[in-house]
Amino acid sequence: MVKIEIPEDHPRKVSLETREKIIEGHTRHEVATAGLLAHGRGEAFDYLIGEKTNDIAKHAIKVAVAAMLTAHHPVISVNGNVCALVPAETVTLSELTGAALEINLFYYRKEREDAILGALKSAGAKEVLGTHDRPSETIPELSSNRRKVDPDGIGSADVILVPLEDGDRTEALKTIGKFVITIDLNPMSRTAVYSDITIVDNIIRCLPLMVEYARELKDTPLDELLKMVETFDNEKNLADSIKLMRTRLGDLSKNIGSLRQKIQPGANA
Return the number of the residue (114 or 171) whose C-beta is nearest ligand ATP. 171
CB of 165 to Mg ion, least distance (A): 8
Other C-beta atoms lying within 10 Å of the C-beta of residue 241: 26
Q: Which does 102 bind (CB under 5 to 8 A by kind): Mg ion, ligand ATP, none?
A: none
Q: Which stretch binds ligand ATP (CB under 6 A): 7-15, 36-44, 71-79, 216-224?
A: 36-44
d(CA 184, CA 182): 6
19 lines the binding site for ligand ATP (CB under 6 A): no
The site partner of 83 among Mg ion, ligand ATP, none (C-beta below 5 to 8 Å per kind) is none
- Taking a C-beta distance cutoff of 8 angstroms, is the pair 31, 84 a contact? yes
Sole binder of ligand ATP in the list 49, 125, 203, 225 (CB under 6 A): 203
Shortest gap between Cβ of 141 and ligand ATP (angstroms)? 14
DSSP string, 186-239: -TTSHHHHHSSEEE-S-HHHHHHHHHHHHHHHTTS-HHHHHHHHHT--HHHHHH
Which of Mg ion, ligand ATP, none binds 45 (CB below 5-8 Å, type-dependent)? ligand ATP
Question: Given the rule CB under 6 A, which of 88-96, 137-145, 164-172, 218-226 is the region that contacts ligand ATP?
Answer: 164-172
User: Dmax of the chain from CA atoms?
Assistant: 59
The site that binds ligand ATP (CB under 6 A) totals a number of residues, namely: 17
Report which of 31, 52, 102 is spatially closest to residue 73, judged by C-alpha positions. 102
Query: Which of the residues 140 through 179 are near Mg ion (CB under 5 A)?
Result: 166-167
Tell me: does residue 128 bind ligand ATP (CB under 6 A). Answer: no
Instruction: Decide if residue 208 touches ligand ATP (CB under 6 A).
Output: no
Indicate which single residue of 13, 59, 134, 190 sits in contact with ligand ATP (rule: CB under 6 A): 190
Q: Among 104, 191, 198, 241, which residue interacts with ligand ATP (rule: CB under 6 A)?
A: 191
Asked whether position 166 contacts ligand ATP by CB under 6 A, the answer is yes
Our CB check for ligand ATP shows the closer of 186 and 241 to be 186
- Cα–Cα dist 70/178, whole Å: 14
Task: In whole angstroms, give the CA distance from residue 21 to residue 186.
Answer: 21
Element (H, E) at 15: helix 13-27
The answer to whether 45 contacts ligand ATP (rule: CB under 6 A) is yes
Task: Report the candidate in 73, 92, 85 with the shortest Cα–Cα distance to residue 23.
Answer: 85
**Segment contacting ligand ATP by CB under 6 A, of 40-48, 59-67, 148-156, 245-253:** 40-48
- Name the residue with the smallest CB distance to Mg ion: 166
Assign 3-class secondary structure to 135-149: CCEECCCCCCHHHEE
Locate the DSSP E strands across the chain: 74-78, 100-103, 128-129, 137-138, 148-149, 159-161, 179-183, 197-199
What CA–CA distance (Å, rounded) separates 67 from 18? 28
Is 104 an interacting residue with respect to ligand ATP (CB under 6 A)? no
Q: Which residues bind ligand ATP (CB under 6 A)?
A: 38-39, 41-42, 45, 164, 166-167, 183-186, 189-191, 202-203
